[in-house]
A and B are shown apart, each in its own frame.
Chain A
């Protein structure tokens, strides 16, 4: 395997590692930092793919990723948690070793699923498809088991990271228009989430999502 594809594999593995780390983290500040690192790894991988295959639009995607996911969104989230004054998450719905075990199970499932597809693709980065799928599933799991709202949002954003990696590995990135649209959606979504958080906090005096169960009609 060429150096470029080995580096991409390494960065993809790093992405998966960060997804696992996010699954087991309790401090929200560390979650944001991990998310920033994940964005950085993703951007680096995109740069390398762009360099070794000569697809210029990937350079642009990489820059967009850096600007958005490494700088802008973490900064927004930082301001959010400062204003909302939250630092820690309470215990997750199921305890952490069990979550990690579920995560491993999902990773195996994702790898098994991606194996035949990897063999069909002929890009530089086809073995990272399984890793990308696993990151998506893990971020989804993180969204499910968390009790506070901010980690759920970070899970959502991490999921988008995984999808981006999947797109890069299978088909050398999505068409630029689609990418710009997705990026804009993510940015807008973050702002809207921020506004929602304030409303939730005003209503319930806490960001624990179990309080929202009171909204259902009994």
Chain B
């Protein structure tokens, strides 16, 4: 469909195909839950701010939809930039705080760098003839060298928006700075549009996927995954922790994409389709459970004023609804059956197990190693969320400032509850009935790659999920859930029937030491201590340890991202140096400026004769 908007001779083209439809489904369903929540969340804002926030919010949603619908490069870039700008304004809603302003600045900077790369990529694909519609770009022939250049530009351009290393630094700054529904939108949906862009450009527009690209994607994906989860384990700010987990999950999506590219590069389209399906399914799953987690964190922040995990504790008693929904989100992100996170990780593992199909000896052996990093990351995520849930909701209340704190907490309102319930139901639905989505994504793959999963996989129905062949692998979440629930209930009733259900309440076991206080529980940093011990060299840590002679002993821990020192600060220094040199041009005297104009005029007259 063509809209007569935009510049003359460059109208907007819109198109929905399978891939765009799937992402629109993601956008719609997740934003429905988030918007419901936001209706309750922003209730106490002043009218002026509320109008502004609503305007920016809806422009953001509309621009994301436009990105997905765009069928030519021009509309794509316009919508992309609108998305970045509207989200910048949303992030800096509380712009009075300097920390939030600098977070917004970093976000906008890296978003623009990514946009430049994407623009260059479109330029490379265009090749100087034809117009900029996607159908023209699709049919343009590219030599392998230029195709690789386009791939690299697209990968790093979209990767900057997705939050893969080394261009991730904006994510842990911007997501905590934004209000919680906005963080949920950004983490849940916006970074997925970057994945949409990658899949669209690399699979559809460039075509001819090579396996070397897949190896690069796999390596960066594995690094992103491990980096994200290891840094997440060290955080005690709840929203920053969730932001790092978004980085990790983008890494997992990249692992699926990379495996898919490797298989396609070697001509194994069935396994490649499985990898693509795994990656896209994880995109949807992550959107749902990450939005749920951010909304839960928003409830905690909003209703109890607490942001630092070290101050929380025992919130399950004050906020039982939030606790319940957050538990579902935490179980989903830890990839535990029968919820949805497990299904997409399972599919990624099944893709890796197709490795014997590849001819190349080295590639065949290292593909399972990436599955090993995925396994490691999954286990670390579970550890992190045990920490988060245990410290925030369970246990006793830790010391908190008197005006905020769990004592003053109240549970979330109705709108917020509905929003979170919608997303939690989504987690269950996606986890229990994955076959429907598998078949849906199979059609997407058939459109993109020309062929999808093998015939034997199509026996998947509401009960069984079969990715390749029933003898090879199958999974049924429904049976899982039913058996566990049935056994739980039957055991409960049998024990009551044959024995009794008497309970006595008492104080917890204190090992004979009567002066137990709530300060004796683990703090967030304490829970992460084993990881600091094992993975020490990967962090840039600064610790102040208490000494035996201190009158007031204190312990301080500061962890910084190494990428600042490796990449960002050197690049910033270089940019500063270059601009200092260029600033020499600005002499301040009018005669010099007139001299510049004069020289340019003479030069033009000489060369453009």
Give the number of chain B interface residues (Cβ < 8 Å): 5
Give the number of chain A interface residues (Cβ < 8 Å): 5
Cβ of A4 to closest chain B Cβ, rounded Å = 25
Q: Which residues of A contact B (CB under 8 A)?
A: 97, 108, 111-112, 115
Which of the listed residues A97, A111, A112 has the most CB atoms from chain B within 10 Å of its own CB? Answer: A112
**B residues within 8 A CB of A112?**
361-362, 365
State whether A108 touches B365 (Cβ < 8 A).
yes
Cβ of B222 to closest chain A Cβ, rounded Å = 13
Main SS class of interface, A: helix
Q: Which residue of B lies closest to A113 (CB)?
A: B362
State whether B361 touches A97 (Cβ < 8 A).
no
Q: Which residue of A lies closest to B362 (CB)?
A: A112
**A residues within 8 A CB of B361?**
111-112, 115
State whether A111 touches B365 (Cβ < 8 A).
yes
State whether B534 touches A108 (Cβ < 8 A).
no
Cβ of B98 to closest chain A Cβ, rounded Å = 40
**B residues within 8 A CB of A97?**
534
Interface contact tally, CB-CB below 8 A: 11
11 of the cross-chain contacts (CB-CB < 8 Å) are A97-B534, A108-B362, A108-B365, A108-B366, A111-B361, A111-B365, A112-B361, A112-B362, A112-B365, A115-B361, A115-B362
Q: Which residue of B lies closest to A115 (CB)?
A: B361
Q: Which residue of B lies closest to A119 (CB)?
A: B361
Q: CA–CA, A111 to B365, complex, Å?
A: 10
Cβ of B367 to closest chain A Cβ, rounded Å = 12
**B residues within 8 A CB of A115?**
361-362
Cβ of B233 to closest chain A Cβ, rounded Å = 17
Q: Which 5 pairs, one residue from A and one from B, show the smallest C-beta to C-beta distance?
A: A112-B362, A115-B361, A108-B365, A112-B361, A108-B366
Q: CA–CA, A92 to B302, complex, Å?
A: 51
Scan B358-371; emit 1 where CB is below 8 A from any A CB, else 0. 00011001100000
Q: CA–CA, A112 to B361, complex, Å?
A: 7
Q: Which of B363-409 contact A (CB under 8 A)?
A: 365-366
Q: CA–CA, A111 to B369, complex, Å?
A: 15
Q: CA–CA, A172 to B365, complex, Å?
A: 28
Q: CA–CA, A108 to B366, complex, Å?
A: 8
Q: CA–CA, A97 to B361, complex, Å?
A: 26
Q: Which of B337-361 contact A (CB under 8 A)?
A: 361
Cβ of A97 to closest chain B Cβ, rounded Å = 7
**A residues within 8 A CB of B534?**
97
Cβ of A191 to closest chain B Cβ, rounded Å = 40
Q: Which residue of A lies closest to B361 (CB)?
A: A115
Q: Which residue of B lies closest to A112 (CB)?
A: B362
**B residues within 8 A CB of A108?**
362, 365-366
Known: A97-B534, A115-B362. 4 other contacts (CB 8 A): A111-B365, A112-B362, A112-B365, A115-B361
Q: Which residue of A lies closest to B534 (CB)?
A: A97
Q: CA–CA, A112 to B366, complex, Å?
A: 10
**A residues within 8 A CB of B365?**
108, 111-112
Cβ of A115 to closest chain B Cβ, rounded Å = 5
**A residues within 8 A CB of B366?**
108
Q: Which residue of A lies closest to B535 (CB)?
A: A97
Q: CA–CA, A117 to B77, complex, Å?
A: 52
Q: Which of B497-541 contact A (CB under 8 A)?
A: 534
Q: CA–CA, A56 to B534, complex, Å?
A: 52
Q: CA–CA, A112 to B369, complex, Å?
A: 15
Q: Which residue of B lies closest to A114 (CB)?
A: B361
Cβ of A211 to closest chain B Cβ, rounded Å = 26
Cβ of B360 to closest chain A Cβ, rounded Å = 10
Q: CA–CA, A207 to B584, complex, Å?
A: 62
Q: CA–CA, A97 to B534, complex, Å?
A: 9
Q: CA–CA, A99 to B366, complex, Å?
A: 19
Q: Which of B440-486 contact A (CB under 8 A)?
A: none
Q: Which residue of B lies closest to A109 (CB)?
A: B362
Cβ of A179 to closest chain B Cβ, rounded Å = 31
**A residues within 8 A CB of B362?**
108, 112, 115
Cβ of A104 to closest chain B Cβ, rounded Å = 9
Which of the listed residues B365, B366, B534 has the most CB atoms from chain A within 10 Å of its own CB? Answer: B365
Cβ of B353 to closest chain A Cβ, rounded Å = 19
Cβ of B609 to closest chain A Cβ, rounded Å = 60
Cβ of A146 to closest chain B Cβ, rounded Å = 20
Q: CA–CA, A159 to B605, complex, Å?
A: 75
Cβ of B432 to closest chain A Cβ, rounded Å = 38
Cβ of B262 to closest chain A Cβ, rounded Å = 16
Q: CA–CA, A115 to B361, complex, Å?
A: 8
Q: CA–CA, A87 to B361, complex, Å?
A: 43
Q: Which residue of A lies closest to B366 (CB)?
A: A108
Q: CA–CA, A106 to B362, complex, Å?
A: 13
Q: CA–CA, A115 to B366, complex, Å?
A: 14
Q: CA–CA, A108 to B370, complex, Å?
A: 14
Q: Which residue of B lies closest to A98 (CB)?
A: B537
Cβ of A76 to closest chain B Cβ, rounded Å = 39
Which of the listed residues B361, B366, B534 has the most CB atoms from chain A within 10 Å of its own CB? Answer: B361
Q: CA–CA, A112 to B363, complex, Å?
A: 9
Q: CA–CA, A16 to B365, complex, Å?
A: 17
